[in-house]
């Protein structure tokens, strides 16, 4: 490996570490952008190659913007606060029933709106419900965090990382469901069982008070209808193998325009409050992984996956799923997903191996707070609510939930 390659790898590693550790409290995207800028400034990656890497994420950017618009509208119009309060009322004084209802709500939001929506929108709604219901919010908040990843491979739209891992090779919805529906259900069920067992004592000691349900206005109902139509549009797009970013962005803009026309309220506050830093973060990571790819450092990984997939497909799939699951916690699942996509690109491997890697990328981050963007966003929401969850607390829960769910999901995938 040349000094040029070693320097490229060092820059990529340092930038990724900055994204995860956030020294000085700086936002994650500054480190990804700084890493990309250093690569360009030192001539370690040509400008056209860097720009090409940025353009590779076009579908992901559109998907994220569309989902953030829908989530922002749902938050502003009180849709999720309304639904969460109704869920608390349906618990009828049972803390365990409330836990199940909110877990299922988080599952539904993750499946049809993505795991980031669960972290950003449902988490603050759960905080409100817990305060009004006079219960400890921690069991329900951990439920939000873990289901955001555990349910994120039910559909292609459930996690932006799915678009990263498969890219243009995204399977049709019928194939996706045939292969991944059962592993998804297994991961969701095991995660629930572990959380229910872990928080059994805390839940048994409480009796939630039914909170007052905030009314849902005409704009909120319009957003709810828009979300339903968006989910339908994306399911249809998945069914025919179309890209998901364009339809998501179109739906988000259409719902924003509809609410604006119906209410006369300016759309600018919703647009300004979007987490725009996510876009340069993803773009910077695409450039960093492209630089790593150009060093040839991923060639041994590609070769190992191709050889193992041909000689021992099930064992290779299991090891790859577990390996990428662990790697997601060391470097976050966005760069891990990009590395996986790059390593798998252009090589002939069984479809189950590709799907096992996806399960590791999606489910593995339930081990630590640095594992996924959704979990990082969840932590940011908790800080805004004045709630502290340490890395050690999350790890103690993750060590119980993630390995069990990962083994279940990979086992169901490979035994099918």
| pLDDT tens digits, one per residue of 286-332 | 898 888 888 887 888 889 999 998 899 999 999 999 999 999 988 78
What percent of the chain is predicted at pLDDT more than 70? 100
What's the confidence (pLDDT) of residue 87?
78
- The average pLDDT across 233-238 equals 83
Closest CA to 111 of 300, 293, 238: 238
What's the confidence (pLDDT) of residue 356?
96
d(CA 200, CA 185): 22
User: Positive or negative CA dihedral for 5, 19, 273, 249?
Assistant: positive
Going by pLDDT thresholds of 50, 70 and 90, the confidence category of residue 152 is: very high
Instruction: Inform me whether the pLDDT recorded for 167 exceeds 80.
Output: no
What's the confidence (pLDDT) of residue 249?
93
What's the confidence (pLDDT) of residue 205?
87
Q: What are the residue boundaries of the structural domains of the chain, listed by start? A: 3-415
Burial of 230 (0-12, 13-18, 19+ CB in 10 A): buried
Alpha-carbon separation of residue 388 from 23, 135, 233 (angstroms):
18, 16, 38
Going by pLDDT thresholds of 50, 70 and 90, the confidence category of residue 119 is: confident
- Model pLDDT for residues 332-359, shown as the tens digit of each residue: 888 888 889 888 887 888 999 999 999 9
What's the confidence (pLDDT) of residue 57?
85
Alpha helices, DSSP H, located in 58-172: 58-76, 79-90, 95-113, 115-117, 123-133, 138-150, 160-166
DSSP category for residue 170: P
What's the confidence (pLDDT) of residue 19?
83
Q: What is the mean pLDDT of the chain?
A: 89
What 3-state DSSP class applies to 251?
helix
What's the confidence (pLDDT) of residue 31?
92
- The average pLDDT across 109-113 equals 86
Query: Between 306 and 209, whose confidence is greater?
Result: 306
Instruction: Inform me whether the pLDDT recorded for 122 exceeds 90.
Output: no
- The average pLDDT across 6-22 equals 86
Instruction: Inform me whether the pLDDT recorded for 84 exceeds 80.
Output: no
């Amino acid at each position: 490996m040349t000094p040029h390659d070693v320097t490229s790898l060092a820059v990529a590693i340092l930038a990724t570490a900055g994204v995860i550790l956030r020294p000085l409290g700086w936002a994650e995207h500054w480190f990804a952008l700084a890493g990309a800028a250093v690569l360009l400034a030192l001539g370690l990656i040509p400008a056209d190659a860097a720009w090409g890497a940025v353009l590779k994420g076009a579908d992901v950017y559109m998907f994220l913007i569309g989902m953030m618009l829908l989530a922002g509208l749902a938050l502003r119009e009180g849709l999720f606060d309304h639904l969460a309060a109704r869920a608390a009322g349906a618990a009828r004084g049972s803390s365990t029933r409330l836990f199940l209802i909110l877990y299922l709500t988080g599952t539904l939001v993750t499946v049809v709106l993505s795991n980031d929506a669960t972290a950003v929108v449902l988490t603050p709604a759960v905080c409100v419900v817990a305060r009004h219901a006079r219960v400890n919010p921690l069991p329900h908040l951990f439920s939000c965090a873990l289901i955001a990843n555990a349910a994120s491979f039910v559909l292609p739209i459930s996690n932006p990382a799915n678009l990263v891992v498969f890219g243009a090779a995204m399977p049709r919805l019928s194939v996706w469901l045939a292969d991944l529906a059962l592993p998804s259900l297994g991961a969701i069920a095991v995660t629930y069982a572990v959380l229910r067992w872990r928080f059994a004592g805390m839940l048994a000691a409480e009796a939630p008070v039914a909170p007052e349900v905030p009314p849902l206005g005409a704009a909120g109902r319009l957003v709810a209808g828009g979300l339903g139509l968006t989910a339908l549009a994306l399911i249809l797009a998945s069914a025919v193998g179309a890209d998901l970013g364009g339809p998501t962005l179109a739906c988000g803009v259409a719902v924003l325009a509809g609410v604006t026309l119906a209410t006369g309220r300016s759309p600018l506050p919703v647009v300004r409050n979007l987490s725009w830093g996510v876009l340069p973060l993803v773009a910077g990571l695409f450039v960093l992984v492209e630089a790593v790819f150009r060093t040839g450092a991923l060639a041994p990984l590609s070769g190992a996956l191709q050889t193992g997939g041909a000689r021992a497909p099930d064992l290779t799939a299991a090891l790859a799923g577990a390996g990428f699951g662990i790697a997601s916690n060391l470097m976050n699942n966005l760069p891990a997903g990009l590395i996986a996509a790059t390593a798998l690109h252009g090589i002939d491997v069984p479809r189950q191996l590709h799907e096992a890697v996806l399960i590791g990328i999606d489910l593995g981050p339930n081990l630590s707070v640095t594992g996924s963007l959704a979990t990082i966003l969840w932590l940011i929401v908790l800080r805004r609510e004045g709630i502290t969850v340490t890395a050690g607390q999350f790890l103690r829960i993750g060590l119980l939930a993630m390995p069990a769910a990962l083994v279940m999901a990979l086992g169901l995938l490979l035994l099918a």
